[in-house]
Structure 1
Amino acid sequence: MKRLTAAMVMALVGCDAPGPEFRDTPATRIHIGKSSFDIRVKGTRAEAIRLNTEYAPRLAAVAPRGVYAIEKVSGCRVRRIEGDAAVMRAWLDCGGRLEPLPRAFEFECSIDVVYESFADLTCEPI
């Protein structure tokens, strides 16, 4: 029984654990639509960990919100993204800057107007 309990605790602890590259990087929490992410930015790389549960998520469904979250927090454009619906890693284009802009620790965002494949995003630090 002790082994089962220890395994369950370790599995839960790893739910929001960053990858090795972002281990010592503080997270910024951001809420976009129905998704919540912890974003960690280090240099021109970023990691987005989705915190909420969603029924049968696919990367294609979650990635647009993840990209918006990373861009809002970092102040840089996402050049490339990989991963899955739970953890996304991005390469950033910061317009020649080696470091992203300074950031707040938590944002609340809303999607205002949705076009065919684009949306207006409004974010406020909280």
Structure 2
Amino acid sequence: MRYSAAFLILALAACGAPGPDLQGTEAVRITVGADTFDVRRKGLTMQAMRRNFRMAQPVDEIIGNAERAMEQLSGCNVDWLRGDVAIVYGGLACPNGAAPRPMPRSDRDLLCAPDLAGPDGALRCSFEP
């Protein structure tokens, strides 16, 4: 019992931790629309981690709010976005002329979209090579 409680505490503490690229950066809490994010920046890369729960909200609305939070904090335009409704990464295109960091790619990306042709509009996911 004691070990399971310690594991639970450690697991919950990791929920707000930044990704490996942004270790050591401080989060700034920003609310845009109905979403609250912890936003971090390192160079031209940003991360917006959503801190609130909203049921059945459009993904594009949440991602758009994350983009606006990044722009609000940085003062730069966001050149690319990658992520999901929980954590969004963005590459900045700042007016000082620095080229944005290229969007990271993994060996295989999981892409999800609603199946609008299907009877239930369920979310269908597939791997992109």
Runs of at least 5 residues in structure 1 that lack an aligned partner in the other structure: 99-126
Who wins on radius of gyration, i.e. which is larger?
A: 2
How many residues are matched? 99
Bigger shift: residues 80-89 or 54-63: 54-63
Residues of 2 paired with 1:70 and 1:47: CA distance? Answer: 8
Q: RMSD value over aligned CA atoms?
A: 1.9
The TM-score, its normalising length taken from structure 1, stands at 0.71
Structure number with the bigger relative contact order (C-alpha 8 A, sep ≥ 6) is 1
**Counterpart check, 1:62 vs 2:66:** no
Q: Pairwise mapping of residues 1-126 of structure 1 onto structure 2 (< 5 A)? A: 1-57=1-57, 59-95=59-95, 96-97=97-98
Take 2:15 and 2:59, find their aligned partners in 1: how far apart are those partners?
Answer: 17
Whichever structure has more strand as a proportion of its residues is: 1
Q: Is the 8 A contact 1:58 1:85 kept in 2?
A: no
Runs of 4+ aligned structure 1 residues displaced above 4 Å come to none
2:76 maps to amino acid:
C
TM-score, with normalisation over the residues of structure 2?
0.69
**Displacement of 1:2:** 2.1
Shift of 1:33: 1.8
Deviation at 1:9, TM superposition (A): 1.0
Identity value in percent? 36
Unaligned runs of 5+ in 2: 100-129
